[in-house]
Chains A and B, each alone.
Chain A
Amino acid sequence: DVKVTQSSRYLVKRTGEKVFLECVQDMDHENMFWYRQDPGLGLRLIYFSYDVKMKEKGDIPEGYSVSREKKERFSLILESASTNQTSMYLCASRVSGIYNEQFFGPGTRLTVL
């Protein structure tokens, strides 16, 4: 069965902290994605990765960075967390190809105080 896991379901951090969100997929997928989900705004793409060590900025990359050292793991980094980064973060993966289904993790609800 297809599986995308995220390291935490809920996370509370303080302003200015460095935050790591981890995503692991067990399907040998080439492409991985990080989105944030906010009420009324839907899903917005932060970063995506075509393959290991490759990354592309999405629509809202400011304040975020990513790391993909291994094919199965895609990390989202908030260098200095701010209150406006309080959100639900969703990770997804897929086989390479725009017509292919994206498989999503359950999400991490991050609160920055």
Chain B
Amino acid sequence: AQSVTQLDSQVPVFEEAPVELRCNYSSSVSVYLFWYVQYPNQGLQLLLKYLSGSTLVESINGFEAEFNKSQTSFHLRKPSVHISDTAEYFCAVTSISNFGNEKLTFGTGTRLTIIP
């Protein structure tokens, strides 16, 4: 079984300040990791994902996440946030298997609020 923990349900940050959204996972096998973002009144969309290779992955809008196997973490960071980053962020994990159709397990989400 796999699980995801997002300890921070809400994170308020001043505009242009850095932010880190924490994600820890639990799995007995190797995993793929994802961050999805949900802007107000919209569905979720993929922000970035870790499958293999470099442990640091980046998105097109300045977010990055680092896969840390020893700490079972996949924290999301941005050095300088913008008002448009206001959204709810979901970390998700899936275990690598032979079936090819495994489901995603989502965390409970972190609501990021940018303060002008």
Tally A-B pairs: CB < 8 A.
56
Report the nearest A residue to B108, measured CB to CB. Answer: A42
- Size category of the A interface is 20 to 34
Q: Say how far B77's CB is from chain A's closest CB, in angstroms.
A: 21
B residues contacting A by CB (< 8 A) are 6, 9, 32, 36, 41-46, 49, 51, 90, 94, 96-97, 100-104, 106-109
Q: Say how far B49's CB is from chain A's closest CB, in angstroms.
A: 7
In the assembled complex, the Cα of A33 lies from the Cα of B102 at a distance in Å of 12
Q: Say how far A21's CB is from chain B's closest CB, in angstroms.
A: 14
Q: Say how far A31's CB is from chain B's closest CB, in angstroms.
A: 6
Contact among B42, B100, B104, B109 for A102, CB-based, below 8 A:
B104
Q: Say how far A53's CB is from chain B's closest CB, in angstroms.
A: 15
The answer to whether A42 and B103 touch (CB under 8 A), given A4-B43, A99-B51, A101-B49, is no
